[in-house]
Every structure is written in structure tokens, then in C-alpha cells.
Amino acid sequence: MKDVTETFEIVAAGAAVASGPAPTTPKNVPHRGGPENPSAEALRAQFGDAIQKVDVCWGETTVYVAGKRLGEIVRWLHDDPSQQYDYLADVTAVEYRETEQPLEVVWHLRSLPYRRFLRLKVEIPKGAALEADSVWEIYKGADWLERECYDMFGIQFRGHPDLRRILMWEQYKEGYPLRKDFPLRGRFSRSEQLRQALAQNPEAKYSMEELSIADAFAELPKDMRQRLSAGERTGE
Amino acid sequence: MGLTARPDDTGIDAGTAGALTEVEYDPSSQQGWVTTRLDFLVNWGRANSLWPMPFGTACCAIEFMATAASKFDLARFGMERLAYTPRQADVLICAGRVPFKLAPILRRIWQQMPQPKWCISMGACASSGGMFDNYAVVQGIDTIIPVDVYVPGCPPRPEGLMYGIRMLQQKVMNERMADKTLRDEMEPDPRSHLYIPPSLIDELSEPFGNSIHQTRSTP
């Protein structure tokens, strides 16, 4: 594994590559077209058919890739010394109002050494299983981002270690709120929503032991240690 | 027990509720002079040393902080000490929208507060859900916990919150020790966890204004 301090020095010193561009504020950026991110061309050379389309919008490059090879492509973008996309800014999804248009899963990658931004998209046609590769193995920060995407859109991320709801409570039964077929006020009546929300019992998951007491176990009074080790819950 | 065991379809029985809380008192009579003086003393003490428990979730909490800061200075009203633990608080100031996921937590905080306790619902979102008429936000915290004073505004200015606090102080000053129902805890129905009937909640959270044009699909 690479020495971490080395990476920090690169960031502090500026561009990783001596020939890299100096940081400037972009001017006169066209809506469509314009220079595309050099990584797009590199991706085409490396992966060929898996790169379906490249789109430049307001100076930001979007690469549409084949869903099956997404994990491989992100791994290459992260590891290859000529790319070094070391920061995953976001994982999200888009569903369009036009019913025939496919649902898109979006990854925002950033290369700190090269000062590049790249957006990857995978299209999931309507009717197909909502699945995508998890990038958790590459970026550990994808954990919660993918959970959020699963919570709001119902996309199953293959290989995610702990894919469960994050914004809504875990017993939430109404579906996936950001999907177009989800009514704004939810599927159930207000009283039913409130009833289910009040029944959620958050302490079953976030207990005092997990949150704090476990860390300070040795410093607790003796009687409390005995009670805790006997299995007593301190949630209330 | 107030509104506890009421079945769904009976609605609020205003007659009985009024009779329960009414206290016999004749101002011209000298009877009960000691208790009324004691009431005054106790209420004076309570009203002027309310310790607020701020439950701030959104922009209303910023206004609350402005109210507590030096320019508006909440300490002038005896709210010198903000209690960040419900066990040592008198007033729950719910400032901001409350999502459904937070509903059981807000109720737990309210249940942890010892009597006597009061609640101020600060701002449009806490009072009615405000503009967040959607699947995620509680349509008024009075569906979860009892509320004494509603402060309108989005968010209310510090003057608005201080007016609400003054109203609460007046309410505290008018309390009578003879009224035994004042300190009753509202026990939610153990089956539904609600303390007001579901039909009433649905009625209260009916869409209004522009949002009536949005439809709800049935499950």
C-alpha cells in the first residue's frame, strides 16, 4: 500500500504531475461540447465497447458505461497512475419523468492529483432488475452513499456489506420515495404513517452500549458494569 | 387520564373535558386565600425560571439561538440556563421540522421530562408540517406530544418566540394547584402509540392551499 503522507504532500504541493494544468477558474464554458476530460479518451482506449457514450455538459464530462464492467472500470480509474481518481464524491441515481427513459445510476469521481472531475453513469432500462456494482471495495466512503441510493431508489448494490435503509427507518414499508411512481405524501394515510413511525423503536438498533458505554466500559461504576455484563439494556 | 383510552370514532368530548378541568373559584370569597396566594407564589417562581430544552432541527433553531444570544437575551425571562438534558428541563422548545424518523425520539424526550412541563411549538413546520407536506415530515408535533403554545412564522423572529414565551408565562401564572388534571401524563394507546384518534390525525393533516391539487394514490 502507498504511503498516505506521500499523497498528502502531493495535494499540498499542487499538481501531482509537473506538466499538469495550473488551477484556474474556468471561463466561457459552453453548455454543450467543449474539451472533454482526458480520462474519457483513456477509458475508450482501455475498455472499448464498455464505454457507450461520452457527453460534455458545462465543462463536466459524463461517461456512460456498461453496467457489467462498472466495478472493473472504477477500479482502473482509481488504481492507474495516469488517472488516480482517489475521491468518490457521490453515488446517486436519476429517474426521468419520461417513462421509456432508463433509470441512471451516477458516480461522481474526483482526481485530486490531476484536478479532474469525472461523472460515470450506468443506465438501467425500465423493467430490468435495479442492480449495480458496489464500489465499496474501492472507496470505503461509498458505504452510506450506496445505502442512501438504495433507500431512495431501491437499487441493489452487488457486494455492499450492509445494504439497509439509512434515511428512512428500517421497517419503512412504503417503498422507495424518490421513484416517480411514489406519491409525494406517501402511500399510507398520515395516521398510519405516524403509527408506524412511532412503533419503530430506534433503541433496538442504536443502543447506549453501542454508542458510548462500550467505549467507556472500564471507567463505569462497578455495579453498572455488573448489570451490563449480565445483559441488561440501558436504553431506558 | 385525559385523552388516553378514547376509541377512534368518538372524537373529542368537549363537555366532559371542560368539566374535568374546571375549578370552583369565587373571587369575592375569602375562602382559599392561602392556597391562591401559594398558587401565585409557586407560579411566579415557575414562570420566571423556565428552563428550556431546545429541540432544534432546522432554521428555527438558528432563530432560537439568536433569541438566546446577547441582543435578545432570553435570560431576561428566567431562561438563563438551557437544559440540554430533558431530565432537568421545564419547557420543550421544538424548533424546526420533525421527520417521522425523529417522532419516537421527540416523544421519548417529552416523556423523560419531569412534571411540571410545557411545550412550545416554534415555527410553521413544527406546528403544522409547514411547506413540507410530504411523506417524510410529521404534520404538526401535536400529533405526537401535547403542545401549549404555537409560535407562527417561517421561521419566527426572536420577538415572536419571546411573545410565545410570555404567553406561556401567563399560562403558567394562571395555573391552579387545585386542578389535579394539570399534571396528568398523556399515555398513548399501547396498540397504536397514538394519543389522539387516527381519524383526527388524518383530518388535521388534510392538504390545504396549493397542495390540494396533488393526488394521493392508494396502496
Q: How far is B46 from chain A (nearest CA, A)?
A: 28
Is ipTM strictly over 0.90? no
Task: Show residues of chain B in contact with A180, CB under 8 Å.
Answer: none
The pLDDT-based confidence of B34 (bands split at 50, 70, 90) is confident
**Which pLDDT value is given to residue B11?**
45
List the single best residue of B9, B97, B100 to mutate versus A (max A Cβ within 10 A): B100
Contacts of B94 (CB under 8 A, 6+ apart): B55, B57, B106, B119, B120, B121, B122, B126, B141
For residue B106, the chain A residue with the least C-alpha distance is A198
**Which pLDDT value is given to residue B62?**
93
**Which pLDDT value is given to residue A20?**
63
Asked if the structure places residue A11 within a domain, the reply is no
For residue B100, the chain A residue with the least C-alpha distance is A197
Question: Looking at the predicted structure, is the pLDDT value of residue A216 above 80?
Answer: no
Beta-carbon contacts below 8 Å between A and B: 79
Place of cell 412504503: A174
Alpha helices in chain A (DSSP H): 4-13, 38-47, 70-79, 142-153, 190-198, 208, 222-229
Asked if the structure places residue A21 within a domain, the reply is no
Task: Show residues of chain B in contact with A168, CB under 8 Å.
Answer: 101, 136
Closest Cβ–Cβ partner in B108, B201, B218 for A194: B201
The pLDDT-based confidence of A123 (bands split at 50, 70, 90) is very high
Question: Looking at the predicted structure, is the pLDDT value of residue A11 above 90?
Answer: no
Place of cell 386565600: B33
Domains identified in chain A, total number: 1
Per-residue pLDDT averaged across A104-128, rounded?
A: 91
Question: Looking at the predicted structure, is the pLDDT value of residue A6 above 90?
Answer: no
B136/A198 Cβ within 8 A: no
B144/A193 Cβ within 8 A: no
Asked if the structure places residue A213 within a domain, the reply is no
Question: Looking at the predicted structure, is the pLDDT value of residue B182 above 70?
Answer: yes
User: Distance between CA B34 and CA B38 in Å, rounded?
Assistant: 6
A202 touches chain B (CB under 8 A): yes
List the single best residue of B98, B132, B135 to mutate versus A (max A Cβ within 10 A): B135
Domain range spanning residue A34? Answer: 28-166
Count the neighbouring beta carbons within 10 Å of the beta carbon of residue A184: 14
Q: Which of B61, B120, B63 is nearest to B96 (CA)?
A: B61
Residue A87 and residue A109 in contact, taking contact as beta carbons nearer than 8 Å: yes
Question: Looking at the predicted structure, is the pLDDT value of residue B121 above 90?
Answer: yes
Asked if the structure places residue A100 within a domain, the reply is yes
B188/A193 Cβ within 8 A: no
A192/B135 Cβ within 8 A: no
A201 touches chain B (CB under 8 A): yes
Question: Looking at the predicted structure, is the pLDDT value of residue B150 above 70?
Answer: yes
Least confident range from A111-115, A180-184, A220-224, B112-116: namely: A220-224
Asked if the structure places residue A205 within a domain, the reply is no
In percent, the amount of chain A with pLDDT more than 70 equals 84
**Which pLDDT value is given to residue A209?**
57
C-alpha cell at A113: 492529483
The pLDDT-based confidence of B211 (bands split at 50, 70, 90) is low
User: Distance between CA A40 and CA A184 in Å, rounded?
Assistant: 38
Chain B positions touching chain A (beta carbons under 8 Å)? 100-101, 103-105, 107-108, 133-136, 138-139, 143-144, 188, 192-194, 198-199, 201-202, 205, 207, 214-219
Task: Show residues of chain A in contact with B139, CB under 8 Å.
Answer: 190
C-alpha cell at B93: 422548545
Asked if the structure places residue A186 within a domain, the reply is no
Question: Looking at the predicted structure, is the pLDDT value of residue B118 above 50?
Answer: yes
Specify the amino acid at residue A201.
N
**Which pLDDT value is given to residue B8?**
46
Task: Show residues of chain B in contact with A185, CB under 8 Å.
Answer: 133-135, 207, 214, 216
Closest Cβ–Cβ partner in A169, A183, A199 for B101: A169
Per-residue pLDDT averaged across B145-152, rounded?
A: 92
Closest Cβ–Cβ partner in A169, A183, A202 for B216: A183
Contacts of B79 (CB under 8 A, 6+ apart): B50, B51, B52, B68, B91, B165
Q: Please state whether the predicted TM-score (pTM) of the whole model is above 0.80.
A: no
Question: Looking at the predicted structure, is the pLDDT value of residue A197 above 70?
Answer: yes
The pLDDT-based confidence of A12 (bands split at 50, 70, 90) is very low
The pLDDT-based confidence of B12 (bands split at 50, 70, 90) is very low
Task: Show residues of chain A in contact with B100, CB under 8 Å.
Answer: 169, 193-194, 197
Q: How far is A234 from chain B (nearest CA, A)?
A: 14
Instruction: Identify which has the larger pLDDT, B206 or A233.
Output: B206
**Which pLDDT value is given to residue B147?**
92
Domain harbouring A45, CATH code: 3.30.460.80
Q: How far is B195 from chain A (nearest CA, A)?
A: 10
For residue A200, the chain B residue with the least C-alpha distance is B104
Task: Show residues of chain A in contact with B202, CB under 8 Å.
Answer: 189-191
**Which pLDDT value is given to residue B4?**
43
Asked if the structure places residue A224 within a domain, the reply is no
In percent, the amount of chain B with pLDDT more than 90 equals 32
In percent, the amount of chain B with pLDDT more than 70 equals 79
**Which pLDDT value is given to residue B162?**
92
**Which pLDDT value is given to residue B14?**
46
Least confident range from A1-15, A58-72, A94-108: namely: A1-15
C-alpha cell at B59: 432554521
The pLDDT-based confidence of B2 (bands split at 50, 70, 90) is very low
**Planar angle of CA A64, A42, A72, nearest 5 degrees:** 60
The pLDDT-based confidence of A13 (bands split at 50, 70, 90) is very low
Q: DSSP string of A137-184?
A: TT-TTHHHHHHHHHHHH--EEET-SS---SSS-TT--S--TTSTTS-T
Per-residue pLDDT averaged across B106-112, rounded?
A: 90
B107/A198 Cβ within 8 A: yes
**Which pLDDT value is given to residue B79?**
85
Bridge partners (DSSP) listed for residue A93: A105
User: Cis link prior to B52 (omega < 30° from 0)?
Assistant: no
B194/A191 Cβ within 8 A: yes
**Which pLDDT value is given to residue A56?**
92
